[in-house]
């Protein structure tokens, strides 16, 4: 799983059926200290998150399938939680 | 999954049997500001995207899951056409 900041969302009418009822969010992967970690990515929102929130994103199909209740989904990244606090021992 | 832009198409008559009938597009990965985010690659297209369109794609083991029989020698699949990115 990786940490990310929600940047916004993507609207899309023509898509694979696994995305039919999915809310597709734009997320910026971040390091635990909050710094950006590479390019932005997309993730299906299974939690109900808003712009600016720090979230937990899984990046593996079987896990995504469990969350979305779809066997062998064409989805890889799913938002599974909102982070309240990150406590790092430097 | 990631955003991308369709920058071309591939014709390949001699190819793996299970790739028969699939459209192969050349995709440039981009970020939410449409900036290039990696090198171009080839993906199977299951949503009939056309040249220049902004799309999103899925890679690794989930790419074959986009195919009708959820199996095949593909490691990237275009799974949606973007109407709008609001980020």
Tens digit of each residue's pLDDT (9 = 90 or more) over A8-49: 999 999 999 999 989 999 999 999 999 999 999 999 999 999
Instruction: Mutate one of B79, B81, B83 to test the A interface: name it (highest A CB count within 10 A).
Output: B79
Contact predicate A5/B64, CB 8 Å: no
With left for phi above 0 and alpha for psi between -120 and 50, is residue B59 left, alpha or beta? beta
Q: The tokens of A50 are what?
A: 């808003």
Question: Is the predicted ipTM greater than 0.90, yes or no?
Answer: yes
Residue A62 C-alpha, separation from nearest chain B C-alpha, in angstroms: 9
Pairing of β B54-59 and β B23-30: unpaired
Q: Whole-model pTM? A: 0.94
Give the C-alpha distances (Å, rounded to integers) separating B67 from A40, A57, A85, B71: 25, 24, 39, 6
What is the band of A90 on the pLDDT scale with cuts at 50, 70, 90?
confident
Percent of chain A with pLDDT over 90: 96
What is the band of B56 on the pLDDT scale with cuts at 50, 70, 90?
very high
Q: Which residue of B has its CA nearest to A63?
A: B62
């Amino acid at each position: 799983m990786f940490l990310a900041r929600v940047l916004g969302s993507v609207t899309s009418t023509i898509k694979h059926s696994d995305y039919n009822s999915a809310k597709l969010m734009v997320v910026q992967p971040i390091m635990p200290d909050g710094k950006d970690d590479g390019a932005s990515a997309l993730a299906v929102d299974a939690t109900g998150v808003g712009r600016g929130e720090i979230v937990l994103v899984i990046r593996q199909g079987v896990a995504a399938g469990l969350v979305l209740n779809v066997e062998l989904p064409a989805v890889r990244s799913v938002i599974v939680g909102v982070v309240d606090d990150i406590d790092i021992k430097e | 999954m990631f955003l991308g832009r369709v920058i071309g198409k591939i014709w390949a008559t001699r190819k793996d049997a299970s790739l028969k009938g699939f459209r192969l597009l050349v995709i440039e990965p981009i970020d939410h500001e449409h900036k290039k985010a990696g090198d171009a690659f080839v993906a199977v297209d299951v949503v009939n995207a056309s040249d220049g369109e902004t799309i999103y794609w899925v890679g690794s083991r989930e790419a074959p899951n986009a195919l009708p029989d959820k199996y095949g020698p593909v490691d990237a699949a275009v799974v949606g056409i973007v109407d709008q990115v609001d980020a």
